[in-house]
Amino acid sequence: MNRYTLLPEDAISVLPPEGGDGAAIRIFCERTMIVFDAAQVESVSLQQAGKAGRCLCFAAPDALLGARHEVFVPVSRPDYPAFLEGLRQYAPQLDLTAEAAFVPESCDHTGRRHGE
């Protein structure tokens, strides 16, 4: 699973249903766009995510390859209120109030284990 915390320069939004497709979550990070079908979101929780602070975390497969991602959206982002309102409007099945404990990564992408 890929874990990603949105950076200040990233953008996130909820796209309304269109042409028979359901709502989608769209993230722009650098030159990459990742899209998630809102109906495929597996879990949502509020977490205190280390340096990122309080975040809304969601887990879902991306719409292109089906790779599972865990995305941390800091609540301090200027676009967070619009993102949250989009989720409430277009994905009302999600419980946006659940709290969960943050579990830090145990290794990085080089294979080095943290704490060694």
pLDDT tens over the chain, length 116 residues: 888 899 999 999 999 998 878 899 999 988 899 999 999 999 999 998 878 889 999 999 999 999 999 999 999 999 999 999 999 999 988 888 888 887 776 555 555 554 44
In angstroms, rounded to a whole number, what is the distance separating the alpha carbons of residues 46 and 102?
Answer: 9
Handedness of CA 95, 16, 5, 110 (dihedral sign): positive
pLDDT for 42 equals 92
56 burial class (0-12, 13-18, 19+ CB within 10 angstroms)?
buried
* pLDDT attached to residue 114: 46
pTM summary value = 0.84
